[in-house]
Amino acid sequence: MKKILILTIMCFAFFVQDSYAQSQCRFNTGTGEWEGFDGGPCVNTLITALPFLRIIPDARSAALGDAGIALSADPNAVFFNASKLSFAEDDLGLSLTYTPWLRSLGLNDVYMAYLSGYKKLDDDLSAVAVSLKYFSLGRIAFTDANGQSIGEGNPNEFELTGAYSRKLSEKLSVGISLKFIFSNLASGQAIDNVEITPATAGAADLSLFYTTPVDLPNIKTELSVGAAVTNIGTRVSYTNSANRDYLPANLGIGAAWKLDLDQYNQLTFVTDFNKLLVPTPCVGDAADCENSGDPEIIDYKEQSVIGSIFNSFGDAPDGASEEFREINYSVGVEYWYDQQFAVRAGYYNEDATKGNRKYFTLGLGIKYNIFGLNFSYLIPTNSQRSPLDNTLRFSLLFDFGEVGE
């Protein structure tokens, strides 16, 4: 029964029409402005379809507060920043990550799996890569509004990605990724006599990566920076409605500073900043948020995909201060001993008015010859629960460039 309730809520969140922000705000007659119930800014979270596209699939980055845009390249770079792959140390790499989902609630068949791999070409000047992310919601018993059984299903989603990376110089590279996305949450079911169908989309990522040595007394260091615009793609709907939702297009900027302390000890500091490139919902009552075009479509959803990306930097109702609140940040530190054993820690922060996800992360890594194994664990720091509470994630890596050495 618990699982039915959870998945009913999840499906409702995908299919229901967006409500206006008055459910999260109140009108202050003294100031003439909308505010949160605590007197602070309104809670005004960004709304997208297919949020599984933004779930971090890699246990290494998951242990670093979800930072990975400028981290040294491995097969999971396909998700964060494909342009890094042409700087990968090994000629060929594969990775497999398994992530239990909602395990703290006793669910055993809800999980995400991620498979990725790359191959370097042209004397290490370029690389190609593929990845597959699969999210299974397990076996679900569907019920109607009266709690009567209307059948069972196996909701699932997947993303198939192909990527190409090319060096422009000894320090700079670019990358492009193309994606096919499929989401089948309740195919064959109906809500208010409206048939639910699978959602499909195409999307692309564009990325940059720059790395350079930095001279410090008696220490060899390397500074890397990266940027990626991800999930630029078509809008989707689970019905024939013209009211379609945006993919979670995202701008990410990251940096990593690697310090070789001596022959055996290496330390890397990483940080990422991410902002969703989607419209910010209107704040106010129905009259304030009235649409100017199709009466079936909420005003902020009338923008084109490209238009919404550019407008996302200046459309927040509370101005620049709210735009900055839409930026999430991650920080992390990784320590390697003799490139065989790693310890990691990190922190992730999201503003309280934009989702309020805040958590520490911990992790370990082991590497021997061609084989690597990474673990991560998430610790929430506030009352906002995470699907990964009390959950151990792991990734397997194979670096075939070292075979025979």
Cβ neighbours of residue 43 closer than 8 Å, sequence gap 6 or more: 21, 24, 25, 36, 352, 353
CA neighbours closer than 13 Å in the CB half-sphere of residue 303: 16
Tens of pLDDT, residue by residue over 46-74, are 889 999 999 999 999 999 999 999 999 99
Alpha helices per DSSP H over 19-66: 59-62
Which CATH number is 56-402 given? 2.40.160.40
CA distance linking residue 205 with residue 78, whole number of Å: 10
- CA 383 to chain CA centroid, Å, is 21
Predicted confidence at residue 205, as pLDDT, reads 97
Sequence spans of domains, the chain: 56-402
Q: How confident is the model at residue 282 (pLDDT cuts 50, 70, 90)?
A: confident
| Cβ atoms of residues 220 and 213 within 8 Å | yes
Give the Å distances, CA to CA, from 48 to 1, 32, 130, 283, 310. 28, 30, 25, 17, 16
Conformational region of residue 102, where left means phi above 0, alpha means psi within -120 to 50, and beta covers everything else = left
Give the Å distances, CA to CA, from 9 to 12, 16, 50. 5, 10, 15
CA distance linking residue 53 with residue 378, whole number of Å: 19
| Cβ atoms of residues 51 and 176 within 8 Å | no
pLDDT at 95 over 90: yes
Tokens linked to 303: 């923008």
- Can you give the pTM of this predicted structure? 0.86
pLDDT at 190 over 80: no
Q: How confident is the model at residue 218 (pLDDT cuts 50, 70, 90)?
A: confident
Between residues 231 and 237, the one the model is more confident about: 231
Predicted confidence at residue 289, as pLDDT, reads 56
Predicted confidence at residue 303, as pLDDT, reads 82
Alpha helices per DSSP H over 318-400: 320-325
Predicted confidence at residue 383, as pLDDT, reads 76
Tokens linked to 322: 């709210």
pLDDT at 276 over 60: yes
Between residues 2 and 77, the one the model is more confident about: 77
Predicted confidence at residue 15, as pLDDT, reads 34
pLDDT at 319 over 80: yes
Closest alpha carbon to 74 in 62, 63, 58: 58
* C-alpha dihedral sign at 366, 209, 87, 56: positive
pLDDT at 93 over 90: yes
Highest mean pLDDT among 100-104, 299-303, 334-338: 334-338
Tens of pLDDT, residue by residue over 127-136, are 999 999 999 9
Give the Å distances, CA to CA, from 232 to 164, 251, 323. 16, 10, 20
Predicted confidence at residue 249, as pLDDT, reads 96
CA distance linking residue 394 with residue 96, whole number of Å: 9
Once rounded to an integer, what is the mean pLDDT over residues 19-41? 62
pLDDT at 26 over 50: yes
Between residues 368 and 146, the one the model is more confident about: 368
Between residues 2 and 110, the one the model is more confident about: 110
Phi and psi at residue 142, in whole multiples of 5°?
-85, 145
Predicted confidence at residue 45, as pLDDT, reads 87
Q: How confident is the model at residue 124 (pLDDT cuts 50, 70, 90)?
A: confident
Tokens linked to 404: 């025979």
Predicted confidence at residue 139, as pLDDT, reads 81
Alpha helices per DSSP H over 180-244: none
pLDDT at 219 over 70: yes
Cβ neighbours of residue 40 closer than 8 Å, sequence gap 6 or more: 353
Residue with tokens 């500073």: 257
Predicted confidence at residue 292, as pLDDT, reads 46
Mean pLDDT of the chain: 84
CA distance linking residue 28 with residue 31, whole number of Å: 6
pLDDT at 267 over 90: yes
Between residues 388 and 338, the one the model is more confident about: 338
Once rounded to an integer, what is the mean pLDDT over residues 353-366? 93
Cβ neighbours of residue 157 closer than 8 Å, sequence gap 6 or more: 50, 52, 134, 135, 181, 182, 183, 184, 185
Q: How confident is the model at residue 115 (pLDDT cuts 50, 70, 90)?
A: very high
Once rounded to an integer, what is the mean pLDDT over residues 347-376? 93
CA distance linking residue 117 with residue 94, whole number of Å: 4
pLDDT at 335 over 70: yes
Predicted confidence at residue 386, as pLDDT, reads 77
* Strand pairing category for 358-368 and 126-136: unpaired
Once rounded to an integer, what is the mean pLDDT over residues 84-92? 93
Residue 319 burial (C-beta neighbours within 10 Å; 0-12, 13-18, 19+): exposed
CA distance linking residue 274 with residue 14, whole number of Å: 23
Q: How confident is the model at residue 340 (pLDDT cuts 50, 70, 90)?
A: very high
Between residues 5 and 306, the one the model is more confident about: 306
Predicted confidence at residue 127, as pLDDT, reads 96
Predicted confidence at residue 244, as pLDDT, reads 84
Q: How confident is the model at residue 8 (pLDDT cuts 50, 70, 90)?
A: very low
